[in-house]
Amino acid sequence: MDHLDFSSAYADLALDARDLASRASGNQSIPGVDASEQDENGIKITVIDITSDEGAKAMGKLPGHYVTVEVPALRQKDSDLQDRVATKLAQEFELFLQKLGISKTAKVLIIGLGNWNVTPDALGPIVVENVMVTRHYFELMPDQVSAGYRAVSAIAPGVLGTTGIESSEIVQGIVEKSRPDLVIAIDALASRSLERVNTTIQIADTGIHPGSGIGNKRKGLTKETLGVPVIAIGVPTVVYASTIVNSVIDMMHKHFKQQTANTGQILGMLDQLQDSERLELVKEVLNPVGHDLLVTPKEIDQFIEDIGNIIASGLNAALHEAIDVDNVAAYTH
Amino acid sequence: MDHLDFSSAYADLALDARDLASRASGNQSIPGVDASEQDENGIKITVIDITSDEGAKAMGKLPGHYVTVEVPALRQKDSDLQDRVATKLAQEFELFLQKLGISKTAKVLIIGLGNWNVTPDALGPIVVENVMVTRHYFELMPDQVSAGYRAVSAIAPGVLGTTGIESSEIVQGIVEKSRPDLVIAIDALASRSLERVNTTIQIADTGIHPGSGIGNKRKGLTKETLGVPVIAIGVPTVVYASTIVNSVIDMMHKHFKQQTANTGQILGMLDQLQDSERLELVKEVLNPVGHDLLVTPKEIDQFIEDIGNIIASGLNAALHEAIDVDNVAAYTH
Amino acid sequence: MDHLDFSSAYADLALDARDLASRASGNQSIPGVDASEQDENGIKITVIDITSDEGAKAMGKLPGHYVTVEVPALRQKDSDLQDRVATKLAQEFELFLQKLGISKTAKVLIIGLGNWNVTPDALGPIVVENVMVTRHYFELMPDQVSAGYRAVSAIAPGVLGTTGIESSEIVQGIVEKSRPDLVIAIDALASRSLERVNTTIQIADTGIHPGSGIGNKRKGLTKETLGVPVIAIGVPTVVYASTIVNSVIDMMHKHFKQQTANTGQILGMLDQLQDSERLELVKEVLNPVGHDLLVTPKEIDQFIEDIGNIIASGLNAALHEAIDVDNVAAYTH
Amino acid sequence: MDHLDFSSAYADLALDARDLASRASGNQSIPGVDASEQDENGIKITVIDITSDEGAKAMGKLPGHYVTVEVPALRQKDSDLQDRVATKLAQEFELFLQKLGISKTAKVLIIGLGNWNVTPDALGPIVVENVMVTRHYFELMPDQVSAGYRAVSAIAPGVLGTTGIESSEIVQGIVEKSRPDLVIAIDALASRSLERVNTTIQIADTGIHPGSGIGNKRKGLTKETLGVPVIAIGVPTVVYASTIVNSVIDMMHKHFKQQTANTGQILGMLDQLQDSERLELVKEVLNPVGHDLLVTPKEIDQFIEDIGNIIASGLNAALHEAIDVDNVAAYTH
């Protein structure tokens, strides 16, 4: 989430993109986009497949397989819920690997993107610290490794501002030397909507793409650059002040609509603008005075630790058959 | 800033209160309130004295002496500016002590309120870690203490949620045993306006007051409860989502006013509401869905460390004559 | 374990004292000292009661009840063993409370002595961070507290060097304000023998006593100073270089005795010296060159975290009937 | 210093090796080894050049250039001394680069070996956190970089136990992608003598070599493996219990020699053994009971932070002409 590193980090969740695209299409289904939802005890799973260029264009997202786990109650410290989310995540991640045709012995390298000195950006490094690493046993004493495990390695490469080297270059070097069959990259994201901050985990098979801008010399973490499939796991942990304002005006619109036909009287021109136009307007006001800050909830320290543990537990259970989803939490820190 | 601890922590800065009161009075001077400003190289000092009950009522603040140091550029990491702010703070704090008639040998106890596990609430504990502590030398080897120092002690008492004891009870107990002549309490605050988050330091001689609500059994940190004067140093580090929205609508109003006479057309009814009414409206929309979060800028880790060092350096130079404001930074961590 | 704070921290474990006294008495039982041992799956419990002044003199310890939990394998990272130790500790601590006649509703204040910036001295603060705190629920909403809990509060008062105030003064002030029925003080200790570092937990009902030396103005944490019973929980985490050398010479003596009658030939005069004389000799050599360092095992970070969790889990289960010793670990961090 | 990672980390300092070799040769000069010493205000610089295979064999070290900075007072917290050591280190490091023929624009990659979760092993990661990183400016905006700087990058690759990948493989991958002209590797070492723990910094041009044992599949960080020169900076931060005992017996020997001709009477056979034989004897006693622990001084947290800052400051000043050795400390954290 380093500003110079991955401007794509600020890209929409597929879920945000779908919401936008639905609204634009008047809530009709979008050609080339398959979506299904399931809600289980406060954990909502949305699977979105973008299967054609048409769908990709409508969504503003790359073709691919996107799974989102939404848990509105995740912001509250509830360890039972957290265990359930870890278990659900493990199941979804196993299905995800199956769908991609990743074998049970495929060697995995987990990359924790982000900066451990910046709490809302420390998700990747925290997952790396808590994930079970096994590759060295396979290398040094292969005949002593129990059945039901695979070779997993993990590294947090830091950010451009602290290493002086693009994360993608570091990862490429490590992939070439350590030869995994699959890369899983964890990153904190910026959210398009207030309610998804710290409540949502997205899994996607599209890798991680740098933005354009400065980054024309820069490379992402994708099958093209690394030579192996790249699964990205992202959690929105920050939101722009402008996004908050825009979200809230939208919430006001919905709120007043239940009370009056004439919401325009209350919200003026703000009521008629398209979502993206209104956002531009808010940015136009905030940017010149330097106040379009990226913000994060006050409880971010606790949240990042909790969600980091959930993802690490989920990965441990999904990656190793010997680890049961029932006692998944025991294998993390 | 613990929710159960000091609801007053969410009180206005005197500066915010003055802005509100000025607006309400049509920018006329407020009887019983003296205010003066001075701006020096990007550091703005505002001194507000509330001298009568009338003034207190108009401001919604206790009578007292309030000094605010505002540094809009403080959010940028600029170590030269930080040194200048520490120096300025030391000078203002010395003047503050003089005005209160605190002698140069008065014994001082510094209380760092807040929770060190919650980054935006860790200001108090960080100041305590970086301040120069000398009381034990005066107690154990009084004849060996150099001239130009006074007895300073410091403690971070934790928050109700982690100790099970009111901070005010802990501080009372320590004051009774260690007998300081003055208490200085450091706390992180919630801001009434986006632009003051992480840019403003307030010094006040009114102590720290708990809110009403739950807290009817609860006591503050004041001359009445502790028996010695209490100076409060506060920095706004968090802001409610509703406050951001309200601030921005106000900024939009000012922005469009430069372009059109009819800002009501653009902002609808939002344009005509009083500031406090509009804030209530926003809260009414956000609260039911649990989204009126307290948020903090993404860079809070760095900021809390920087501002904690500035305050510790400023206090070291102001409290000990032997420490020169010129090399104030050398005495902190 | 702060040098100015509690020189008694360097006092012997009752176990070390018993070993010395036994050796001095030619392994005969010591009048006024009752001792019993039990070993269960690698966890050795020794209960020592010093019941008379004669026993106290022979042991060089105050009369009192001492329970020691020794787990040689505790230095290895083994989470099953750690759970078993927490469970055993909870059982022993419950028996300890019964023996002292502490009721199941007695209010408890847990004091975490030591310095959180010095890893081997951070045991007390870590226990405080991980213990379940409930007193504020009893104070603020007494009718909503479930059965099976008691009021527990906890604070880490810091050390003299960082607060400028004696820990004992801070604790006295807090006890007077918060009125617990029992104080439990946790502290890291220096060990008299290499093998007990990071493997041993001692519970004693004698409180914590400052040394003589500088501390003539200083007070301990005892029933006399606080007005309520004080249970001390201590873990040796550091050892003097001189102690290591002395231990090893003793181990050499035992080692060579199995091979030859004439160990004096190998170890010279070192072989004939009393334990304490030999220690003095080693100190005499090391002190002038400043090398009688206090050292701690390289893995201290992990150990302090593990043992802190064990003690917090054990206390949670022992103090609250509603918390079952079987799932004791779930209530800590 | 990870056990599986670099058993060579436990290799002697050149200084230790020289002491041993001198003693063996009866203090005569060693052929193929040039050594010179200089002492300046408590900072002792020893330059050792091993110029022939004969010298290498006598020393048990690779041919190469070794510079050691010894500062016995470094264990005391003295910030003036620390500044002087940083300045001296910068000067010595500049000379070192000159002697190796490294140009002033050579691109440098700094590798911080070790584990940031193990305090005595965290030296490398701490240096990396505090060093000035500039490579990305040269890559992204080369025409805007001021004169007097060179391209520096830095990374802490973790240890085998936490990443599952050999540090050497990770570094090789990064070197191939980022193409530095020089690698500087920082590591914590085990000491052969108690008095050098936390007082000594060694610079060597020999790179870092893995041990034999398990490591037969393993590679070091050397010119051979990386294709560019490798300078190793090492600081002994831990010492074996057996080493402490052996050191102290040697100190006893010297101590008693001043008092009596017959030290054998006091120390028995210990007095006649060769240093290495005596060490074996001590290990023989300690190992079977698992007590030959690696230990570190109790104050290791503070020390690691101080020495990490000294090395980072020294490197900043030595690597960038624009950074003056006089104000070297300003550029670190």
Q: How far is A133 from chain B (nearest CA, A)?
A: 28
Q: In angstroms, rounded to a whole number, what is the distance separating the alpha carbons of residues B175 and B207?
A: 15
User: What digits encode the pLDDT tens for the residues D318-330?
Assistant: 999 998 756 555 5
Q: Give the nearest partner residue to A135 out of D129, D164, D175, using CB atoms.
A: D164
Q: How far is B271 from chain A (nearest CA, A)?
A: 9
Instruction: Answer whether residue D234 shows pLDDT above 60.
Output: yes
Instruction: Answer whether residue C303 shows pLDDT above 90.
Output: yes
- pTM of whole model > 0.90? yes
Mean pLDDT of D90-95: 96
Which chain A residues touch D166 with a CB distance below 8 Å? 136
Q: Print burial letters for A51-63: b (CB count within 10 Å at least 16), e (below 16).
A: eeeebbebbebbb
- Nearest alpha carbon to residue B182 among B150, B211, B148, B139: B150
| Minimal-distance CA residue of chain D relative to C286 | D248
User: What digits encode the pLDDT tens for the residues A122-177?
Assistant: 999 999 999 999 999 999 999 999 999 999 999 999 999 999 999 999 999 999 99
Per-residue confidence band for C180, with pLDDT thresholds at 50, 70 and 90: very high
pLDDT at C18: 85
Range of lowest pLDDT (A4-18, A56-70, A116-130, A317-331): A4-18
Measured in degrees and rounded to the nearest 5, phi and psi for residue C223 equal -55, -35
User: What digits encode the pLDDT tens for the residues C142-157?
Assistant: 999 999 999 999 999 9
Mean pLDDT of A47-73: 93
Question: In this prediction, what percent of chain A has a pLDDT beyond 70?
Answer: 91
Which chain B residues touch A246 with a CB distance below 8 Å? none
Question: How far is CA D231 from each of CA C67, D64, D125, D131, D222, rounded to the nearest angstrom?
Answer: 53, 11, 16, 16, 9
Per-residue confidence band for D1, with pLDDT thresholds at 50, 70 and 90: very low
Per-residue confidence band for C68, with pLDDT thresholds at 50, 70 and 90: very high
- Chains touching chain A through at least 3 C-beta pairs below 8 angstroms are B, D
Question: In this prediction, what percent of chain C has a pLDDT beyond 70?
Answer: 91
Q: Give the nearest partner residue to D174 out of A156, A170, A214, using CB atoms.
A: A170
Place of tokens 């203002």: B92
Q: How far is A59 from chain D (nearest CA, A)?
A: 32
Per-residue confidence band for A278, with pLDDT thresholds at 50, 70 and 90: confident
Q: Which residue has the higher pLDDT, A228 or A246?
A: A228
pLDDT at C5: 37
Decide if A286 and B251 are in contact by the 8 Å CB cutoff: yes
Per-residue confidence band for D331, with pLDDT thresholds at 50, 70 and 90: low
- Nearest alpha carbon to residue A21 among A64, A42, A50: A50
Mean pLDDT of B315-332: 76
pLDDT at B213: 37
Place of tokens 């150990």: C303
Helix (H, G, I), strand (E, B) or coil at B218: coil
pLDDT at B82: 92
pLDDT at A6: 36
Q: Give the nearest partner residue to B135 out of C157, C158, C165, using CB atoms.
A: C165
Which chain B residues touch C214 with a CB distance below 8 Å? 140
Which chain C residues touch B142 with a CB distance below 8 Å? none
pLDDT at A128: 98
pLDDT at D217: 47
Q: Give the nearest partner residue to B245 out of A239, A244, A298, using CB atoms.
A: A244
Q: Is the separation of the CB atoms in B228 and B102 below 8 Å?
A: no
Which of A126, A137, A165, A179 should we substitute to test contact with D (largest number of D Cβ atoms within 10 Å)?
A165
Per-residue confidence band for B10, with pLDDT thresholds at 50, 70 and 90: very low
Q: Which residue has the higher pLDDT, C134 or C19?
A: C134
Instruction: Answer whether residue B220 shows pLDDT above 80.
Output: yes
Question: In this prediction, what percent of chain B has a pLDDT beyond 90?
Answer: 60
Mean pLDDT of C19-47: 87
Range of lowest pLDDT (A274-278, B300-304, C309-313): A274-278
DSSP state, residue C50: E
- Chains touching chain C through at least 3 C-beta pairs below 8 angstroms are B, D
Decide if B295 and A297 are in contact by the 8 Å CB cutoff: yes
Helix (H, G, I), strand (E, B) or coil at A201: strand
Q: In angstroms, rounded to a whole number, what is the distance separating the alpha carbons of residues C108 and C119?
A: 26
Question: In this prediction, what percent of chain C has a pLDDT beyond 90?
Answer: 60
pLDDT at A333: 46
Which residues share a beta bridge with B152? B108
Per-residue confidence band for C210, with pLDDT thresholds at 50, 70 and 90: low
Decide if A139 and D163 are in contact by the 8 Å CB cutoff: no
Instruction: Answer whether residue A330 shows pLDDT above 60.
Output: no
Which chain C residues touch D242 with a CB distance below 8 Å? 248
Q: How far is D85 from chain A (nearest CA, A)?
A: 25
- Structure-token pair, residue B55: 């003034």
Which of A160, A177, A184, A319 should we substitute to test contact with D (largest number of D Cβ atoms within 10 Å)?
A177
Per-residue confidence band for C3, with pLDDT thresholds at 50, 70 and 90: very low
User: What digits encode the pLDDT tens for the residues C245-286?
Assistant: 988 888 888 888 888 777 777 777 777 788 788 888 888 888
Q: Which residue has the higher pLDDT, D43 or D328?
A: D43
Per-residue confidence band for C53, with pLDDT thresholds at 50, 70 and 90: very high
Question: In this prediction, what percent of chain B has a pLDDT beyond 70?
Answer: 91
Decide if B161 and C214 are in contact by the 8 Å CB cutoff: no
Q: Give the nearest partner residue to A173 out of D140, D154, D176, using CB atoms.
A: D176
Instruction: Answer whether residue B66 shows pLDDT above 90.
Output: yes
Which of B108, B111, B117, B174 should we substitute to test contact with C (largest number of C Cβ atoms within 10 Å)?
B174
Mean pLDDT of B110-121: 95
Instruction: Answer whether residue A299 shows pLDDT above 70.
Output: yes
User: What digits encode the pLDDT tens for the residues B260-304?
Assistant: 777 777 788 787 888 788 888 888 888 877 778 899 999 999 999
Calculate the dihedral angle through the C-alpha atoms of B33, B39, B44, B47, rounding to the nearest 10 degrees: -20
pLDDT at D327: 59
Which chain B residues touch A286 with a CB distance below 8 Å? 248, 251
Q: How far is C123 from chain D (nearest CA, A)?
A: 13
Per-residue confidence band for D281, with pLDDT thresholds at 50, 70 and 90: confident
Decide if C140 and B217 are in contact by the 8 Å CB cutoff: yes
DSSP state, residue D113: -
DSSP state, residue C320: -
| Minimal-distance CA residue of chain D relative to C267 | D268
| Minimal-distance CA residue of chain A relative to D112 | A163
Average pLDDT, chain B: 87
pLDDT at A11: 57
Q: Give the nearest partner residue to B194 out of A117, A255, A291, using CB atoms.
A: A291
Q: Across B169-178, B323-332, D210-219, which has the greatest mean pLDDT?
A: B169-178
Decide if B169 and C178 are in contact by the 8 Å CB cutoff: yes
> So what's the ipTM on this one?
0.90
Per-residue confidence band for D6, with pLDDT thresholds at 50, 70 and 90: very low
Q: Is C259 buried (19+), middle (13-18) or exposed (0-12) by CB count in 10 A?
A: exposed
Size of interface A-B (CB pairs under 8 A): 131
Decide if C178 and B173 are in contact by the 8 Å CB cutoff: yes
Mean pLDDT of D242-248: 89
Q: Give the nearest partner residue to D173 out of A164, A177, A214, using CB atoms.
A: A177
Q: Give the nearest partner residue to B163 out of C153, C160, C214, using CB atoms.
A: C153
Domain D6-243+293-331 has CATH 3.40.50.970: no
Decide if C298 and D302 are in contact by the 8 Å CB cutoff: no
Instruction: Answer whether residue A3 shows pLDDT above 50.
Output: no
Decide if C293 and D297 are in contact by the 8 Å CB cutoff: yes
Q: In angstroms, rounded to a whole number, what is the distance separating the alpha carbons of residues A243 and A194?
A: 7
User: What digits encode the pLDDT tens for the residues D106-125?
Assistant: 999 999 999 999 999 999 99
Q: Sign of torsion, CA D238 D243 D245 D251? A: negative
Q: Which residue has the higher pLDDT, D26 or D177?
A: D177
Decide if A298 and B298 are in contact by the 8 Å CB cutoff: no
Mean pLDDT of A229-247: 93
Q: Print burial letters for A147-185: b (CB count within 10 Å at least 16), e (below 16).
A: eebbbbbbbbbbbbebbbbbbbbbbbbbbebbebebbbb
Q: In angstroms, rounded to a whole number, what is the distance separating the alpha carbons of residues D14 and D137?
A: 38
Per-residue confidence band for D9, with pLDDT thresholds at 50, 70 and 90: very low
Decide if B252 and A281 are in contact by the 8 Å CB cutoff: yes
Q: Sign of torsion, CA B249 B255 B256 B260? A: positive
| Minimal-distance CA residue of chain B relative to A252 | B285
Q: Is the separation of the CB atoms in D206 and D175 below 8 Å?
A: no
pLDDT at D153: 98
